[in-house]
Copies of this chain bind each other. A is one copy, B any other.
């Protein structure tokens, strides 16, 4: 600790960071055409995890990139050849007392090319601004002219999360090229099925425990703050999806001949769902909030210090009301949620008919925070459904069950549920990461106890003696998971500088391995 303070005193952070940052920027600037060409080649490879042939091509492409940067990459295979492999690499620093594992994922969300506007998910192109702001498709400048950093690259995973792969590997390349010494051993880990719920991550970690141990996993995924400020996020919410179907008559009925005598499944499900929340949007399921692990003092302060952006977002979204009885968005993502992803019964629009449908189905999305257990939270949901006098089953009801139970709900928990993860902000490694990211920008960075989004980081900490900290780089309006995904180039360039700062941050603080 003393040594750190001495070093900081001798070499003020701003000067030190400025120097490294400038050198990294010079490298990036000089190599921009090559970096972008390589990036477009990577983005052109379709990367849905279930597309086994293409997903492996992505892994091989990334391994080749690592080789070109002097690393000796390995593909960490899952249980079958169809499992997207993780791409692993390692760079040892003689005498380093800390090991950082830098994580990104190279697979992307499935998408329907027809829903994209003027571009194709796997044919990357530039737009001179966001599509929503009227951005037009434009060609790269001729020769070695720099591309306007406010231009955007449109492609699936342009930001989520091949941007992470690019930022990490180009930061490393820049430091090597400029002869800047790294201060930690660095491990690289690029996952290939994160968007599919990381179904084999636990197996891959268990099979490669020693290889994947580190003082911290630094996760490069997700967007920076809506204000444009960089942020460091110390947790992610857990997530589990549940399908709920309620049953009415066995065959569709004429709504005139049977309506208001034969029960309507859409009304049944509407009543069931309505029973789960109050007027303010608070979940009324017994015990829903009882496991929540309270935030610490530093976490509460970080939320209070974060930019107040709610009114701005409400305006953008056309909302004049939010749920949560006046609580802010940042407060609310620190409590477990219940969201309806979809609801379907019968037909609407031109196909609507005067019938009583046979079933109604909703897909629920339960987000979890530190302290929740995804199995326990689902049990509470099921207990609530039972409390509404429903018989709960995992299958379509039999005739015997129909005869016995006036109300029947089929409840199926989708595979791949996992818990939340949160690292204390006051751990030494947390403080060092905060300092490193802050060193790259004059704006005050935003610190969040948790992201609203989810990653299966609990799989990491349940299987390794490490902690996880997320350092996202993408623009917040990147349309991740949706059509027209994009990255603003400036975010990619700043991401390279951020990761260079992390690879060269001050010496390891004592105690980084203790606590979570």
- On whether the beta carbons of A254 and B480 are closer than 8 Å, the reply is yes
**A239 in contact (CB, < 8 A):** yes
- On whether the beta carbons of A342 and B346 are closer than 8 Å, the reply is yes
**A323 in contact (CB, < 8 A):** yes
Instruction: Select one of B249, B255, B271, B337 contacting A259, CB under 8 A.
Output: B337
- Give 1 or 0 for each of A398-431: 1 = CB within 8 Å of chain B CB: 0100111111000000000000000000000000
A398 CB to nearest chain B CB (Å): 9
Instruction: Select one of B248, B323, B355, B361 contacting A260, CB under 8 A.
Output: B323
- On whether the beta carbons of A256 and B346 are closer than 8 Å, the reply is no
CA A449 to CA B320, docked complex, whole Å: 50
Q: Which residues of B contact A349 (CB under 8 A)?
A: 344, 361, 363
- On whether the beta carbons of B350 and A453 are closer than 8 Å, the reply is no
- Give 1 or 0 for each of A297-330: 1 = CB within 8 Å of chain B CB: 0000000000000100001111111111001110
Q: Which residues of B contact A351 (CB under 8 A)?
A: 110-112, 342
A262 CB to nearest chain B CB (Å): 6
Instruction: Select one of B274, B323, B332, B452 contacting A270, CB under 8 A.
Output: B274
Given A257-B452, A320-B405, answer yes or no on A348-B329 (Cβ-Cβ < 8 Å): no
CA A337 to CA B354, docked complex, whole Å: 12
Given A344-B343, A363-B348, answer yes or no on A319-B274 (Cβ-Cβ < 8 Å): no
- On whether the beta carbons of B250 and A132 are closer than 8 Å, the reply is yes
Q: Which residues of B contact A259 (CB under 8 A)?
A: 337-339, 365, 367, 452
- On whether the beta carbons of A255 and B339 are closer than 8 Å, the reply is yes
- Give 1 or 0 for each of A461-490: 1 = CB within 8 Å of chain B CB: 000000000000000010111110000000
**A295 in contact (CB, < 8 A):** no
**A498 in contact (CB, < 8 A):** no
CA A343 to CA B328, docked complex, whole Å: 31
**A223 in contact (CB, < 8 A):** yes
* Oligomer copy total: 2
Q: Which residues of B contact A328 (CB under 8 A)?
A: 261
- Give 1 or 0 for each of A343-379: 1 = CB within 8 Å of chain B CB: 1111111111111110011110101000000000000
**A269 in contact (CB, < 8 A):** yes
A48 CB to nearest chain B CB (Å): 9
**A263 in contact (CB, < 8 A):** yes
- On whether the beta carbons of A323 and B405 are closer than 8 Å, the reply is no
- On whether the beta carbons of A343 and B360 are closer than 8 Å, the reply is yes
**A264 in contact (CB, < 8 A):** yes
CA A132 to CA B253, docked complex, whole Å: 14
Q: Which residues of B contact A222 (CB under 8 A)?
A: 257
- On whether the beta carbons of A342 and B337 are closer than 8 Å, the reply is no
Q: Which residues of B contact A451 (CB under 8 A)?
A: 256-257
CA A262 to CA B357, docked complex, whole Å: 30
**A267 in contact (CB, < 8 A):** yes
- On whether the beta carbons of B324 and A354 are closer than 8 Å, the reply is no
**A433 in contact (CB, < 8 A):** no
**A340 in contact (CB, < 8 A):** yes
Given A267-B340, A351-B112, A452-B258, answer yes or no on A252-B482 (Cβ-Cβ < 8 Å): yes
**A243 in contact (CB, < 8 A):** yes
Q: A261-B310, A348-B363 are in contact. List 9 more A-B contacts (CB 8 A).
A: A251-B479, A251-B482, A255-B337, A261-B323, A262-B319, A270-B274, A270-B343, A342-B351, A347-B363
Give me 29 A-to-B residue pairs in the complex whose CB atoms sit less than 8 angstroms apart, sorted by A's number: A110-B350, A110-B353, A112-B351, A237-B256, A241-B354, A243-B352, A248-B319, A249-B319, A254-B482, A257-B333, A258-B452, A259-B367, A261-B324, A262-B322, A263-B323, A266-B273, A271-B277, A318-B399, A318-B402, A339-B354, A341-B346, A341-B353, A341-B354, A342-B348, A343-B343, A343-B344, A343-B345, A353-B482, A355-B481
